[in-house]
Amino acid sequence: MRTFVQYARQIGVASLLGTGLLAIFNPVAEAACLSGRCSQNGLIFSEASGDFAITNVTGRGTAANPFVVYQDVWGLDISLAISRLPSTPQHSVFNRPGFAISIVSRNLTGAFWRFYDHELQETAGYASSENDGLSFAQAIGPARPYTSSHYDRADEITDVRDFINFHRGRGVNAGETVRFNYFITDTIPTQKFFVRQRPDYRTNTSPTPAVAPSPPVDQPTPSASLIKPSQPEPPTVVVSQPSPQLPVPVIPQPIPQPPVPAVVVAQSVPQIRQEPVLPQPISEPSTAMMGLLAIFVGRVVKRH
């Protein structure tokens, strides 16, 4: 009887040990999650911002068995932190420090997601530079294409920043869950980096800086050509200025009109000439009479 009990206890201990070993080496074993963070296969996945919550992490980080980060999202700009990559040399893909990862997001924003952006940052809030070693397995063909359960296209920018924008497809309705699959490598691994995620984010801000410089360079020349034909218009404005000068020649035109009053003055002159003619016949008989009276008076004086 004792032997049977001891045997049963041994079986119980063995089963417990077997269960523990399965839990440790099971590739889909759940991570040890605390509030806001989960540890899985040497890495720590934590919430670096609000508006979302990590619910679970599974997997080993290999191409066949990637990390799967489950999260509930109720904001449009969230940031997931991943720590301890330099301390886990077992994580390597394509002969680089790194791992395969899938992010599973449940849409609790109440809005439809037409786009979903993922961006790598060594410092939270700052775009990853070209020479920091961190990328979505940049220049590695087998790492592409990036895939998603709800989107058909994934556009990537690698020069000014490292990000992938998923778009097209059927999008993600409120309450639905979407999965994204890609690789992350870091040839100069840091203790912590960030995966910034922006649901329903258009690629206007990031791709346009890389694409916009070239169109604007070409646009100035046509625009300059458009300005040149527009410059003839200033001559039209200058031509409009002579219009005020036209009145200046128009003002002298009234000056020729004074000859008309000159003619009037000439007509008045004959009137002045007629006036002296009238007094002359009057003055002449008066002097003749005076002369006759003087002769008459002289003769009378002589007689006396």
DSSP 43-108: EEEEE-SSSEEEEEEES-SSSSS-EEEEEEE-SSSEEEEEE-STT-TT-EETTEEEEEEEEEEEE-
pLDDT in tens, 183-209: 999 999 999 999 999 998 876 544 333
Which residue range(s) make up the domain with 47? 31-212
Write the CB contacts of 289 (distance below 8 Å, at least 6 apart in sequence).
none
What average pLDDT score do residues 286-300 get? Answer: 65
Share of the chain above pLDDT 70, in %: 57
Higher pLDDT, 5 or 184: 184
- Asked if 64 and 197 sit in the same domain, the reply is yes
pLDDT number for residue 291: 64
- Asked if 201 and 232 sit in the same domain, the reply is no
pLDDT in tens, 148-178: 999 999 998 876 778 899 999 999 999 999 9
pLDDT surpasses 70 at 278: no
Helices of type H across 193-278: 207-211, 214-218, 220-230, 233-240, 242-245, 247-250, 259-277
pLDDT surpasses 90 at 146: yes
pLDDT surpasses 60 at 83: yes
- Asked if 286 and 152 sit in the same domain, the reply is no
What average pLDDT score do residues 63-90 get? Answer: 96
Confidence of residue 139 (pLDDT cuts 50, 70, 90): confident
Q: Exposure string (b/e) for 101-134, b if CB count within 10 Å is 16 or more?
A: bbbbbbbbbeeebbbbbbbbbbeeeebbeeebbb
- Asked if 37 and 153 sit in the same domain, the reply is yes
pLDDT number for residue 217: 42
- Asked if 264 and 250 sit in the same domain, the reply is no
**5 located within any domain:** no
Average pLDDT, the chain: 74
- Asked if 82 and 147 sit in the same domain, the reply is yes
Last residue of a domain, one of 212, 231, 265: 212
- Asked if 205 and 127 sit in the same domain, the reply is yes
Q: In whole angstroms, what is the distance from residue 277 CA to residue 294 CA?
A: 27
Q: In whole angstroms, what is the distance from residue 50 CA to residue 181 CA?
A: 23
- Asked if 58 and 128 sit in the same domain, the reply is yes
- Asked if 103 and 208 sit in the same domain, the reply is yes
Confidence of residue 6 (pLDDT cuts 50, 70, 90): low
Q: What is the pTM of this model?
A: 0.59
11 in the Ramachandran plot: left (φ > 0), alpha (ψ -120 to 50) or beta?
Answer: alpha
Share of the chain above pLDDT 90, in %: 47
Domain count, the chain: 3
- Asked if 238 and 199 sit in the same domain, the reply is no
Q: Which of 34-48, 67-81, 262-276 has the lowest mean pLDDT?
A: 262-276
**18 located within any domain:** no
Residues 150, 178 contacting (CB under 8 angstroms) = yes
- Asked if 201 and 180 sit in the same domain, the reply is yes
- Asked if 198 and 270 sit in the same domain, the reply is no
Strands 163-167 and 153-157: antiparallel
